[in-house]
Amino acid sequence: MTSGRKIRVLVAKPGLDGHDRGAKVIARALRDAGMEVIYTGLRQTPEMIAAAALQEDVDAVGVSILSGAHNTLCPRIVQLLREKGMDNCLVLVGGIVPQEDLPKLKQAGVAEVFLPGTSTEDIVQFLRNNVKPRD
C-alpha cells in the first residue's frame, strides 16, 4: 500500500464504443476500495486521456475497451504518458482482448490486461501491489 496518499486512478474509455458497464463498475469498485477515481466519460482520444492523467496526477490509468481497437489505441496511450514524463503511471487494460494480442500489449508497456470474468478485488489488489509509493 502507498503511505499517506490515496491511490489515484483514471478510468478511461477510448474509441467510439459506448459500452460503459465495465468502466462504471470498476470505477465504483475502486472507490469502494478507498481509491480516488476519475472517469473520463466516453469517446476519449489517447491524447485526451494522457492529458487528463497528467492533470489529475494519477498513479494508474484503467483503459476499458471492447471494440477490437486495443492494438491501435492502448500502445499510443502508454507512449503519450511516457512522453509526458509519467514513467511510473501504470496502464491497465480491461475488456475483450484476444489471447494472441496480450504479449503485444505487454510489450508496448501495458502493465496488465484483465479479461472478462476478472474479479474487481483482483484489480484492487493489483493496483495496491504495483502502484509505486510516493509522498
Partner 1 sequence: MADTKEISSPAETEVERWEEETLNPALEKHPERKNSFQTVSLEEVNRLYTPADIENIEFTRDISFPGEFPYTRGIHATGYRGKLWTMRQFAGFSTPEETNARFRYLLEHGQTGLSVAYDLPTLMGYDADSPLAEGEVGKCGVAVSSLADMEVLFDGIPLEHVTVSQTINAPASILLAMYLVVAEKQGARWTKISGTLQNDILKEYIAQKEWIYPIKPAMKLVIDTFEFCTQKVPRYNPVSVSGYHIREAGATAAQELAFTLRDGLEYVAWGVDAGLDVDAFVPRMSFFFNAHNDFFEEIAKYRAARRIWAREMKGRFGSNNERTLQLRFHTQTAGVSLTVQQPLNNIVRVAIQALAGVLGGTQSLHTDAYDEALALPTDRAALIALRTQQIIAEETGVANTVDPLGGSYYLESLTQKMEDEALDYFRKIDAMGGMVAAIEKGFPQREIQDSAYQYQKAVERGDQVIVGVNKYEMTDEPAEVPTLVIDESVRAHQVERLERTRSQRDSGAVANALDKLKRAANRNENTMPATIEAVSAYATLGEICAALRDVYGIYEEPAF
Our finding on whether 36 is near partner 1 (CB under 8 A) is no
Closest CA to 59 of 83, 88, 94, 26: 88
Our finding on whether 85 is near partner 1 (CB under 8 A) is no
Our finding on whether 98 is near partner 1 (CB under 8 A) is yes
Q: How many CA atoms lie within 13 A of 11 on its CB side?
A: 24
Phi-psi region of 109 (alpha: psi -120 to 50; beta: other; left: phi over 0): left
DSSP 15: S
Q: Which stretch binds partner 1 (CB under 8 A): 53-61, 71-79, 83-91, 125-133?
A: 71-79
Minimum distance from residue 2 beta carbon to partner 1 (Å): 24
Residue among 89 and 113 whose Cβ is closer to partner 1: 113
Our finding on whether 95 is near partner 1 (CB under 8 A) is no
55 Cα distance to chain centroid: 15
Strand pairing report for 36-39 and 60-65: unpaired
Our finding on whether 34 is near partner 1 (CB under 8 A) is no
What whole-number distance in Å separates Cα of residue 27 and Cα of residue 88? 21
Our finding on whether 121 is near partner 1 (CB under 8 A) is yes
Among residues 41, 55, 84, 125, the one that binds partner 1 under rule CB under 8 A: 41
Q: Which residues bind partner 1 (CB under 8 A)?
A: 15-21, 24-25, 28-29, 41-43, 45, 67-69, 71-73, 96, 98-100, 115-117, 119-121
